[in-house]
Structure 1
Amino acid sequence: MAVEEEGLRVFQSVKIKIGEAKNLPTYPGPNKMRDCYCTVNLDQEEVFRTKIVEKSLCPFYGEDFYCEIPRSFRHLSFYVFDRDVFRRDSIIGKVAIQKEDLQKYHNRDTWFQLQHVDADSEVQGKVHLELRLSEVITDSGVVCHKLAARILECQGLPIVNGQCDPYATVTLAGPCRSEAKKTKVKKKTNNPQFDEVFYFEVTRPCSYSRKSHFDFEEEDVDKLEIRVDLWNASNLKFGDEFLGELRVPLKVLRQSSPYEAWYFLQPRDNGSKSLKPGDLGSLRLNVVYTEDHVFSSDYYSPLRDLLLKSADVEVPVCPLAHAALPTCGPVPSGLFVLRTLRWGEGPPDTPARRGGRAHDLQVVCCDPEVMGPPLTRPGAGCRGGEGTGTPTTTTQAQVFPPGQEPRLLWWEGAGALLLHACPPQPVSASAAHILGEVCREKQEAAVPLVRLLLHYGRVVPFISAIASAEVRRTQDPNTIFRGNSLTSKCIDETMKLAGMHYLHVTLKPTIEEICQGHKSCEIDPVRLKDGESLESNMENLRQYVDCVFSVITASGVSCPTVMCDIFFSLREAAAKRFQDDLDVRYTAVSSFIFLRFFAPAILSPNLFQLTPHHTDPQTSRTLTLVSKTIQTLGSLSKSKSASFKESYMAAFYEFFNEQKYADAVKNFLDLISSSGRRDPKSVQQPILLKEGFMIKRAQGRKRFGMKNFKKRWFRLTNHEFTYQKSKGDPPLYSIPIENILAVEPLEEESFKMKNMFQVIQPERALYIQANNCVEAKAWIDILTKVSQCNQKRLTVYHPSAYLNGHWLCCRASSDTAAGCSPCTGGLPANIQLDIDGDRETERIYTLFSSYMRKLEQMQEACGSRSVYDGPEQEEYSTFLIDDPQETYKTLKQVIAGVGALEQEHAQYRRDKFKKTKYGSQEHPIGDKSFQSYIRQQSETPAHSM
């Protein structure tokens, strides 16, 4: 769900690692320890919560969180809570990072001091205010000035203790006067619509009746101000809660026209002072905030096409012609057609006369303007295409030298002629490989590359090409694919994207059993607790390892096809490079499927969504031991005991030192790396896509039933959307996917509830409230995606609910009335992947742009290697360049493509800058980031393309 702006889409996302807290204040009691957890908040809306770490003043969380941000925000906040013996939660402190400051901490572990939390620290929201100064003639004929202060609305007020009943006080204040007035209370909303006007007398009436004799500035208007305070009406004895204030000096009214603007609420000037820094402890965080500005697809065509060609450079793929031939009749005029000679034709010494392969054929290039009779499609049984026309004497035959022969791609029934003729190029000369060379970390290049290539079906040939190149550079088969190369990172990312469901189906039941069993599996004699038996622990661990090993080796038929195709190419490249090593075809595959896929998932199941949180210390230790054993079993190393640094692990491994385990691993690896193997399990099998608690409104299926709100457990598969009372209970209601006609947000005014959406069915709509805006977006996206291909999907819908006999949005009285608003655009109907090719290309552009200096250095290195064979400069030696000339050509194209996109971004920034107004709803007065925004928008591009 992107934020739509004129001409482009804006995507926001954040990836957070919550490390640990230190030196929290002691609990005021004999125990002094605390049970703490941490939350992640967009402003004050909680979107994630860690597990509770008990009895610690330095709790370690070790949790990762990623989300797409569906709305604007000012602060990314982290609250540390303490849960006392009565299970009541109290805030210890918080960390609040302004949005414009997030880049300062980008992808760096940083310690933040916890700050005190009170009403002033929690101020948020904005107010729309209008002021007008006018002259009024009193009954006695005296002229005076009166101020009309109109408070129109507020947005985004904080919710206090689960409720928000706001009202505003408007005060005209000065050195010797203070006059206050109050609005009505708006119940149950943090976006109140007040639209109330208050009048204040700015100057006292004087004896002058002529306007020329009166000047309101004589009253020292510069010292007068309008103050608006927002309060939350409370029935508690402690009084109303402060929500924020704004102050407007009346000197802004020196203009004759009315003054109207949006203001951010601010804390009080005399707000309570926080404790000294460090008194509340500190929190270690790693935050990666990304904001993508994505244009329409046409803007990315040059760079995207260049990246997609990266999968083709290892084979001759330069097209000389591509003519779509009709089933019969002449070839359409204007096409440049290549005529290929039949087998045995041509001069005596050509490969074709010697009976070469199809790609050894001689090629005759014919211009349609100088041809005789028209070409027609060859008859059945012809392996290579040949035209029936006779070329004139102006046509010349071209015989390609060895290594540059054309490749013919036209077999019976293909209906097209495609010839290629160019020498093979190394993959290191491709745009995708160059991105990996210039990026500081291979991972940051691999993520958008794999997503883009996977989206366009080019990931297998590209990974095959870079893997083959890496294997050719490897000298020792024992170190194959062991480094953090671009190949390894790309395969890792592919397995995460394409193999997540496979991983869940294979491991999740066993991981859940281990987490719930809490059996002691410690086999290190030094770590044994009192009363534990080493033999019993070894048996518990052996049973777990056997169970995990069995489910993995039996899962070969479920391995995704794209992973199998990659494993096949790895196996072939390794076997060809190290022909004397019979095991290398297995270790090449096991180094990924075991060492980089199954073993890490067992070790840290929360990172692969196998568990909701980091596991407890005992379970984590058990999973570590299981992961070590599985990793060693899968590696097929010849010396098993040498694989372990710990003697107790070597002793434990003797349980598995049998040939049946090695045979099972080899059979599994053979199956997932077989040529042409396809996954027999299709998307027709039920696949769990998402589940969790939400609140739903009764649908009114019973005539006299109450339409109240209830908490239910929702489950979505590729077949149906169901809810039940609790997890594991039988479904109370089921909606087949084909009955979902639309999934759209529901306006807050319908039920005075935030984060609601509706699942529209043929008979009625199911109204659901998610826990926060991030979850609401995730549910809307996945429900829209799985129902995208439904033939009866709606084009219009009602954005509000049907209540009290009419639709709140359009006031239509019939509950079957057609919708009044167009449905929003859906997502691609792809059950495994949701990839936006344009967004990934934009990310790659951003990387190229940020590493422009390295691209220029790589160009210089290509030029240096082309003309100079002596010692190379140190800054050039880090680049992998196999073909300087081809690499230079690609670099030139990359820089040109990045430059064109940079110009588009610069033009967009200039256009937006011209339209920006301080005090508008988008940029309210009091926004400390506005000056930063002005500076960013006015900066010239960092690189001159």
Structure 2
Amino acid sequence: MARRSSLSIRIVEGRNLPAKDITGSSDPYCIVKIDNEAIVRTATVWKTLSPFWGEEYEVRLQPSFHCVSFYVMDEDALSRDDVIGKVCITRDVLAEHPKGFSGWLSLSEVDPDEEVQGEIHLRVEVLESEAGRRLCCKVLEARDLARKDRNGASDPFVRVRYNGKTQESAVVKKSCYPRWNESFEFEVPEAAGEQLCVEVWDWDLVSRNDFLGKVVFNVPGLQAVRQEEGWFRLQPDKSKPREAEGNLGSLQLQVRLRDETVLPSSCYQPLVQLLCQEVKSGPQDGKVHLITLLDETTTAECRQEVAINLVKLFLGQGLVKEFLDLLFELELAKPCEPNTLFRSNSLASKSMESFLKVAGMQYLHAVLGPTINRVFEEKKYVELDPSKVEIKDVGCSGLHRVQTESEVIEQSCQHLQSYLGELLAAIAKSAPACPAIVRAAFRQLFRRVRERFPEHQHENVKFIAVTSFLCLRFFSPAIMTPKLFYLREKHADSRTSRTLLLLAKAIQIVGNMEAAAGRAKEAWLAPLQPALQRGVTRMKDFITELVGIEEKEELDLQNALTLQTLVVKEGPLFVHKTRGKGPLLSSSSKKLHFSLTSEALSFAKTPNSKKSSSIALSNIRAAEKVEEKSFGSSHVMQIVYVDEEGQQETVYLQCKCVNELNQWLSALRKACANNPEMLCSYHPGVFRGDKWSCCHQKDKTGVERPAGARHGGAAHLPPPLRPAGAHEGEVPGAAGGPGNPQWTLEPP
């Protein structure tokens, strides 16, 4: 049995942000930190004081975390990004809202003296002697200190204050895990009412020293216990007056904390067997189906989560096609109108939508990617609504003239028809590329609807049933917000966003199989009617081909696909060279294209070139983060593996952002979850010269301390890895500092 916690985070939008640029605007983005460790960075929304992000994340974490903070930053190209403000939500506040916290929160000023993290190991005692009482404070070491310098580390020293006297330790250069082992003594007067304050500072040569945190002891209380020793969490300095909240704008958030107890897999087997039996048996007359009970007893808020879990369960059991078919039958058995079929948020609709996102994301990228990239690159002005048309000058110098409204609309119509034609052509020829399991689900849906509505007047219903999922719930949302579907790294600007919205609206109209559907409410779409009518015809032909593959061909294709290895994740990564004998370590290229499959982690110089070599998943022993100071770079992960000779090697790979890093780590950990020889501990640094950068240990293969470090006790090095077969995020006793990657991120 294990405990695990997860955070569902939705960063909606901001408003009334202060202007940080000379243009009177800002370029805001958000960073999410859990106990001062950054885990998420949103896209930048350019030139606005009321940005919309709409980004969702699922974060697995340790139950012992303290707070989650949202920092709103202003991106600058030539200087360091400005901090606009932050919102901090403690774990206690989230626990008070079991259904989730949702609303607007005012941004507060970010004081550097409050941005502290880490812990310090102290031994404090009161000694009695003939000369009187003496207060002895031994400063041993610290861990997970904040990084204040540009090199990704700090130069920490300790300042101990008592009874008006101050003593300081030596400075440890370039370390967030310093060791001092220094003692400080003070005379204790008869009326001992003072406090002992242990402060940690970052030493700077040219600027003022940076505050890293403090610990305060009550001396009279120490006299009673005589001695106190342990790891103490560094606290911020809150003595400064704060700027009034509300002057920095506000942030709309939706955050939900879930604490769960995970039982051994054997405890869930009866439920899994029951669900599988129900799906295999199908609907039976006079019997209330378990799936029907799930649909009727779940609320609209949690139905999406239930659908995702059921889809993943039946995908793992190889019964997802039967599960979806059962949902189609149960949904069609209800009284329903042809024009509203599968338009509600029922369990069937949510399950099919979740299934497409799980099984069809690569297909979506192949179909939409080229057109979406073209829209972003061309940045054409497209507007068909006369009330929103912007009139501008055209022509060369000396021959300016004002472009008329009709000219703008005509030009916009040409651009939009070009994008729509390219997109419909890509869809029309994509039937063979659609995953076999997705085709099978759509074929079952097509057949069930045709049996339910055989009348000639309902000829289009079976086509609309397919497009209600494929176009309205899959293609159109991805066109409107391509970043949320990983089609682009950043959100679109206002001009591109409007073009994407009109293109998504056109796909919706085509999906409704009614070219004139938009005339009533949006008569300005009339110039697109011929293109939309041709699109309806092409869409029907595409669906006919999509669902027309016979069972034998489908089986042959499915068998062919099973022989191919499923690509879990791929993309370019930067290789940090170290001394080693592995094929990747001896590669001449520093930037390689990596591909993670269900069997191996392979790499090549380019996406289309032949694979240079690979590391079998069974040989991987660990996949974890690396301290920034190790290479002077952020977003670096390490993969510990065993080569062909049985020697342990480590490769260090750098990702382009924190989100990409978390996705790679999550994918690697899931792929290697069943490896029986996964390491139980690791070094978060790199072995350089004759010692580890994290703990200064000189034994390259040795382990200095047992696994089990956490905030508030035990040791830091080496932090634990997930045991084989553990759920993601279940690291008993993991530390929460930057060198210890206990956070894992699930993409939306």
Matches within 5 A, 1:552-571: 552-571=427-446
Deviates more, 1:549-558 or 1:729-738: 729-738
Displacement of 1:478 in angstroms is 2.1
SS at match of 1:112: strand
After superposition, the Cα gap between the structure-2 partners of 1:600 and 1:161, relative to the gap in structure 1 and judged at 3 Å, is same
Distance 2:222 2:656 in 1: 44
| Alpha-carbon contact 2:46-2:493 (below 8 Å) kept | no
Please state if 1:220 is matched with 2:212: no
Distance 1:473 1:740 in 2: 49
Please state if 1:135 is matched with 2:103: no
Residue in structure 2 matched with residue 479 of structure 1 by the alignment? 340
Q: 1:741 aligns with which of 608, 619, 636?
A: 619
Q: 2:139 aligns with which of 140, 151, 159?
A: 151
Q: What letter corresponds to residue 552 of structure 1 in structure 2?
A: I
Q: Deviations over 1:357-383 (max 9, x none)?
A: xxxxxxxxxxxxxxxxxxxxxxxxxxx
Displacement of 1:228 in angstroms is 0.3
Displacement of 1:640 in angstroms is 3.0
Aligned CA-pair RMSD:
4.2
Residue in structure 2 matched with residue 171 of structure 1 by the alignment? 161
Please state if 1:715 is matched with 2:594: yes
Residue in structure 1 matched with residue 530 of structure 2 by the alignment? 654
Q: 1:51 aligns with which of 40, 43, 52?
A: 43
Please state if 1:110 is matched with 2:103: yes
Q: 2:289 aligns with which of 427, 439, 451?
A: 427
Distance 1:797 1:302 in 2: 31
Q: Deviations over 1:317-350 (max 9, x none)?
A: xxxxxxxxxxxxxxxxxxxxxxxxxxxxxxxxxx
Matches within 5 A, 1:386-465: 425-427=287-289, 432-433=294-295, 435-436=297-298, 440-465=301-326
Q: How many residues align?
A: 683
Distance 2:603 2:20 in 1: 44
Q: What letter corresponds to residue 473 of structure 1 in structure 2?
A: K
Distance 2:114 2:160 in 1: 22
Residue in structure 2 matched with residue 229 of structure 1 by the alignment? 199
Please state if 1:778 is matched with 2:663: yes
Residue in structure 2 matched with residue 592 of structure 1 by the alignment? 469
Q: What letter corresponds to residue 509 of structure 2 in structure 1?
A: T
Residue in structure 1 matched with residue 117 of structure 2 by the alignment? 124
State TM-score, norm by structure 1. Answer: 0.64
Distance 1:707 1:91 in 2: 42
SS at match of 2:114: coil
| Alpha-carbon contact 1:38-1:78 (below 8 Å) kept | yes
| Alpha-carbon contact 1:629-1:653 (below 8 Å) kept | no
Q: 1:38 aligns with which of 30, 38, 48?
A: 30
Distance 1:923 1:655 in 2: 56
Matches within 5 A, 1:376-775: 425-427=287-289, 432-433=294-295, 435-436=297-298, 440-529=301-390, 530=392, 531=403, 533-580=408-455, 581-637=458-514, 640-641=516-517, 645-658=521-534, 660-661=537-538, 663-671=540-548, 677-678=554-555, 679=557, 682=561, 689-690=568-569, 696-700=575-579, 712=591, 714-718=593-597, 721-722=602-603, 734-738=612-616, 741-745=619-623, 752=630, 756-760=637-641, 762=643, 764-769=649-654, 775=660
Unmatched runs of 5 consecutive residues or more in structure 2 = 393-402, 703-717, 738-748
Q: What letter corresponds to residue 543 of structure 1 in structure 2?
A: S
SS at match of 2:174: coil
Distance 1:660 1:654 in 2: 11
After superposition, the Cα gap between the structure-2 partners of 1:733 and 1:636, relative to the gap in structure 1 and judged at 3 Å, is closer
Please state if 1:276 is matched with 2:244: yes
Distance 2:467 2:423 in 1: 16
Q: What letter corresponds to residue 593 of structure 1 in structure 2?
A: L
After superposition, the Cα gap between the structure-2 partners of 1:148 and 1:771, relative to the gap in structure 1 and judged at 3 Å, is farther
Unmatched runs of 5 consecutive residues or more in structure 1 = 1-6, 137-141, 204-218, 317-422, 815-819, 829-835, 843-911, 913-919, 925-945
| Alpha-carbon contact 2:71-2:86 (below 8 Å) kept | yes
Larger radius of gyration: 1
Q: What letter corresponds to residue 289 of structure 2 in structure 1?
A: V
Residue in structure 2 matched with residue 251 of structure 1 by the alignment? 220
Q: Deviations over 1:142-161 (max 9, x none)?
A: 35222221222323322124
Displacement of 1:797 in angstroms is 9.6
Distance 2:627 2:249 in 1: 41
Q: 1:294 aligns with which of 262, 266, 269?
A: 262
| Alpha-carbon contact 2:338-2:461 (below 8 Å) kept | yes
Deviates more, 1:90-99 or 1:472-481: 472-481
| Alpha-carbon contact 1:18-1:63 (below 8 Å) kept | yes
Distance 1:749 1:172 in 2: 35
Q: Deviations over 1:124-145 (max 9, x none)?
A: 3222322222223xxxxx3522
Distance 1:555 1:487 in 2: 25
| Alpha-carbon contact 2:159-2:198 (below 8 Å) kept | yes
Q: What letter corresponds to residue 648 of structure 1 in structure 2?
A: W
Residue in structure 2 matched with residue 81 of structure 1 by the alignment? 73
| Alpha-carbon contact 2:509-2:518 (below 8 Å) kept | no
Distance 2:249 2:377 in 1: 33
Q: Deviations over 1:86-137 (max 9, x none)?
A: 444221211122233235565554111111112233123222322222223x
After superposition, the Cα gap between the structure-2 partners of 1:42 and 1:922, relative to the gap in structure 1 and judged at 3 Å, is closer
Q: 1:285 aligns with which of 250, 253, 258?
A: 253
| Alpha-carbon contact 1:80-1:92 (below 8 Å) kept | yes
* Paired-residue identity, %: 28
Q: Deviations over 1:482-516 (max 9, x none)?
A: 21111111111111111112212222232222222
SS at match of 1:677: helix
Q: What letter corresponds to residue 18 of structure 2 in structure 1?
A: P
Q: What letter corresponds to residue 427 of structure 1 in structure 2?
A: H
| Alpha-carbon contact 1:171-1:179 (below 8 Å) kept | yes
After superposition, the Cα gap between the structure-2 partners of 1:625 and 1:673, relative to the gap in structure 1 and judged at 3 Å, is farther
Distance 1:673 1:608 in 2: 31
Q: What letter corresponds to residue 736 of structure 1 in structure 2?
A: S
